Amino acid sequence: MAADSPREQWATRVGFIFAAVGSAVGLGNIWRFPFQVGQEGGAAFLLIYLLFIVLIGFPAMLVEFVVGRHTKRNPVGALKRIGGGVWQYVGWIFIATGFVILSYYSVVAGWTIRYTLLGLQDGYLGDAAEAEAQFVTLASGLDAILFHAIFMAIVIAIVAVGIQRGIELAVKVIVPAIVVITVGLAIYAATLAGAGDAYSYYLSPEWGTIAAEWQSILPAAAGQAFFTLSLGMGVMITYASYLDEDRNLAEDGAIIIGFDTAIAFVTGLIVFPILFTAGVDPADPGAGAIFVSLAAAFGDLTLGWLIGAVFFGTVAIAALSSAISLMEVVVSYVVDERDVDRATAALVIGGAIFLLGIPSAYDLVLLDLFDLFADQILLVFGGLLLMILVSWSLSELAVDELERGIGDLGSLGPVWIWTVRLLVVLVLIIALVLGILDYYEFLTTDFADWL
């Protein structure tokens, strides 16, 4: 895009907030969050996750906001403008992260469409073994590739239209629908027989679990916090690049995080009562665990086919809002830096992402290979480098940009910067090291066995 070319902006504040909330409220909340909670010890993981959202997620989100709004560019253009030198290549980490995540994210989103249709056909199987066999059949091979293609086609169409007429219009419908349906499902779940035991598991942390499992819980919670808030992917940099300079970034960030965390929390209030009522173990690991466990649970519930179709339909809608944001990160780079028209960029980039996603649709082990690499390494690494650059080299610029639309921050500016310099950076370094060790273990066990 030429330097003097007009750049599209959000038509309304609500449009931006809904787009950012829509990016955050997606598969990270409704697919990944429940199986992460189950896999990492229930309420113990929830507690650490909530702490990370407040202490790590909010300060980090403000960093991405100020970079995006100040530069009015995609992650590559933004880092080139404020960092120059080798820092401009850090933007490529964000582009690569969004590209890789969307490739397998679309596959999982395709599963949600397939399971929505399965529910409408009253096709959930109450037996856990049969439900697992059904999932393996539906989640890999030609069936999975077909629904992966359908989902990516929808994403391409929305992003190709543009910011106001495409993304903003879509999220103004999607986000309110997600809120209404999840609240309704949580009320229904509270009436189930297993709700009491589920709430105890979900809301009462066992301190011994935290002490014994912190090496697993910490990187998982940090990765989940970044994943669910769309940090480390360049999404918030890109979305903030379409903002006016008078926007209160801190207020908008608090609203976005509040919505996102509330939806994730409420999702737990839906999923765990259903699992406990059906006698399904919530600790079953793996990307497909929530599909197998919930499908088996819905198969045992009265009107389970209907509740399941509504639930998986909601997940599909949420996945769409997040996928749009991931696609926009890559498309904005091509539009800004390569002067390619938006429709062409969306079609070519979307096609390439679809092709990269085929291995994940072919085999679940390959999906885990992409997921763990993107979530615990790429995402955290890119976020860490950005936090270091802004907090240590560009602190005055960051505080000045944050004060636009807010006014003089006084002592709060240095508090924010030092929180990023010390707490955020330290936690991300620890999470990255533990994430690399976890990924190495996966490569030498599950992936090695697959080979």
Q: Domain boundaries in the chain?
A: 13-450
Classify 291 in phi/psi space as left (phi over 0), alpha (psi -120 to 50) or beta. alpha
Rounded to whole angstroms, how far apart are CA atoms 337 and 76?
8
**Amino acid of residue 60:** A
pLDDT one-digit tens code per residue, 141-161: 899 999 999 999 999 998 888
What confidence score (pLDDT) does residue 216 get?
A: 73
pTM tops 0.85: yes
SS (H, E, C) 297-359: HHHHCCCHHHHHHHHHHHHHHHHHHHHHHHHHHHHHHHHHHHCCCHHHHHHHHHHHHHHHHHH
In this predicted structure, which of 89-93, 124-128, 439-443 has the lowest mean pLDDT? 124-128
Residue 354 binned pLDDT confidence (cut-offs 50, 70, 90): very high
Looking at every residue in the chain, the average pLDDT score rounds to 86
Rounded to whole angstroms, how far apart are CA atoms 382 and 256?
21
Question: Which of 316, 236, 233 lies closest to 17 in space, CA to CA?
Answer: 236
What confidence score (pLDDT) does residue 4 get?
A: 43
Highest-pLDDT range among 243-252, 291-300, 348-357: 348-357
Residue 419 binned pLDDT confidence (cut-offs 50, 70, 90): very high
- Cα angle 92, 391, 252; round to 5: 80
The three-state secondary structure class of 124 is coil
**Residue 380: its H or E element:** helix 379-388
Highest-pLDDT range among 143-157, 231-245, 300-314, 328-342: 143-157
Query: What is the Cα 310 distance to its own chain's centre?
Result: 21
What confidence score (pLDDT) does residue 3 get?
A: 44
Query: Average pLDDT for residues 95-104, to the nearest whole number?
Result: 92
Residue 7 binned pLDDT confidence (cut-offs 50, 70, 90): low
What confidence score (pLDDT) does residue 8 get?
A: 65
pLDDT one-digit tens code per residue, 369-406: 998 898 889 988 999 999 999 999 999 999 999 999 88
What confidence score (pLDDT) does residue 2 get?
A: 42
What confidence score (pLDDT) does residue 384 get?
A: 93
What confidence score (pLDDT) does residue 163 get?
A: 67
Q: Which residues contact 314 (CB under 8 A, 6 or more apart)?
A: 30, 177, 178, 181, 182, 185
pLDDT reading at 12 higher than 80? no
Question: Which of 270, 276, 281 lies closest to 307 in space, CA to CA?
Answer: 270
The three-state secondary structure class of 25 is coil
Rounded to whole angstroms, how far apart are CA atoms 55 and 424?
8
Question: Which of 376, 380, 260 lies closest to 322 in space, CA to CA?
Answer: 260
Q: Which residues contact 88 (CB under 8 A, 6 or more apart)?
A: 76, 79, 80
The three-state secondary structure class of 96 is helix
| Tokens encoding 396 | 């005055």
Query: Average pLDDT for residues 416-439, to the nearest whole number?
Result: 91
pLDDT reading at 79 higher than 60? yes
pLDDT one-digit tens code per residue, 272-303: 898 888 777 777 655 666 788 788 888 877 88
Query: Average pLDDT for residues 337-356, to the nearest whole number?
Result: 93
Query: Average pLDDT for residues 187-206, to the nearest whole number?
Result: 89
What confidence score (pLDDT) does residue 369 get?
A: 92
Question: Which of 187, 227, 212 lies closest to 26 in space, CA to CA?
Answer: 227
* CATH superfamily, domain at 13-450: Amino acid/polyamine transporter I (1.20.1740.10)
What confidence score (pLDDT) does residue 167 get?
A: 74
